[in-house]
Amino acid sequence: MILVTGASGNLGTIVVENLLKQIPAERISVLVRNPLKAALFENRNIKAHIGDYSDKASVIKALQGVEKLLLISSMGADALQEHINVIDAAVQAGVSHIYYTSGALNRNVKKSLLGPLADSYMTTEDYIIASGLKYTIFQNGLYLETIPFFIGEEVLEKGIYFPAGDGKASFAKREEMGEAIANVIAEQGHENKIYVTTAVPSHSFGEISQMLSELSGRKVTYESPEPEEFENQLKEFGLQNEDIYYSQILAAIIKNQEYNINVSDLENLLGRKPTDLKAYLKETFLP
């Protein structure tokens, strides 16, 4: 039996859909927080457990008879402790193999601006490795699907206004990361491996503006304002505080080269070349 956590989220949904192409629904189970979401899985013959990473007992209960567990990372302030709960629960319940979605972080960065999230990724990886469970870790790059959120749908007319400087990051389609993760879980093997799941090379937002200019035949500008000016501008636009925070932190970590890595296993795991940034921009902004 396989258990997918975070199955109601963007990535988890894609993993489950891809698992269903390779494995009978009766061998797939999920952990979700919301009973309404659980019913959607149960309707498709997928066993749905209600539970929360912060409630270890609920996770242990869900893990009875589970051989393979996919832990999709949490994003909350307590992410690290939540991950530790799930890993401890897996050991206690006798899970054989844990799969975990981490971040494709540039380990050469001296001082991370990602705050507790960087620590939660790296410390969770170490904790899994020390747990004695068989493991496969996926170091995911940034989702291409988040780019429209940062540069806006009217980017061809208005240009890019984003304080990422000359920082580069590796991006890949969440769809393709989820597909690769499902392929690995469905197969035997992949024990004690760390895979970098992103598309390479990495690119800057200046390069994104150049690609959009080439694709559209227009001059798409890129301006990287000071962070305070950016924050004030987003406030003027009426964005929610949470969205402002998310945009600022993403820009800052990209500027700090925290996702600037140029190695990847995604092509091997997918069995084809992943969608590159330019192709994604074309299908998204110039369909």
Told to check if 12 binds ligand NAP by CB under 6 A, we report yes
Told to check if 260 binds ligand NAP by CB under 6 A, we report no
**Cα–Cα distances in Å, from 34 out to 9, 28, 57, 139?**
11, 18, 17, 27
Query: How far is C-alpha 267 from the chain's CA centre?
Result: 17
| Binder of ligand NAP out of 18, 29, 73, 139 (CB under 6 A) | 73
Instruction: Give the torsion sign (CA, 190, 192, 198, 201).
Output: negative
Q: Is the peptide bond before 201 cis (omega within 30 degrees of 0)?
A: yes
Of the listed pieces 138-146, 151-159, 181-189, 219-227, which binds ligand NAP according to CB under 6 A?
138-146
Of the listed pieces 73-81, 126-134, 189-197, 230-238, which binds ligand NAP according to CB under 6 A?
73-81
- DSSP assignments along 79-91, one per residue: HHHHHHHHHHHHH
C-alpha 216/C-alpha 51 separation (Å) is 47
68 vs 156, beta carbon nearer ligand NAP: 68
Helix runs in 5-162, H state only? 10-20, 35-42, 56-62, 79-93, 116-131, 147-151, 155-158
State both tokens at 25.
Answer: 């629904």
159 vs 178, beta carbon nearer ligand NAP: 178
- Binding to ligand NAP (CB under 6 A): which residues in 36-55? 52-54
Q: How far is the CB of 146 from ligand NAP (least distance, A)?
A: 6
Told to check if 11 binds ligand NAP by CB under 6 A, we report yes
Please enumerate in sequence order all residues whose Cβ is within 8 A of that of 60, keeping only pairs 6 or more positions apart, or say none: 89, 92, 93
Told to check if 64 binds ligand NAP by CB under 6 A, we report no
Told to check if 77 binds ligand NAP by CB under 6 A, we report no
Told to check if 284 binds ligand NAP by CB under 6 A, we report no
Told to check if 74 binds ligand NAP by CB under 6 A, we report yes
Residue showing the smallest CB distance to ligand NAP in the complex: 9
- Give the type of residue at 285: F
6 vs 163, beta carbon nearer ligand NAP: 6
10 vs 64, beta carbon nearer ligand NAP: 10
Beta strands in 188-272 (DSSP E): 193-197, 203-204, 222-223
60 vs 156, beta carbon nearer ligand NAP: 60
Helix runs in 238-286, H state only? 241-255, 266-270, 277-285
Q: How far is the CB of 116 from ligand NAP (least distance, A)?
A: 12
Q: Which residues in this chain contact ligand NAP in the complex, by CB under 6 A?
A: 5-6, 8-12, 33-34, 52-54, 72-76, 82, 101, 140, 142-143, 146
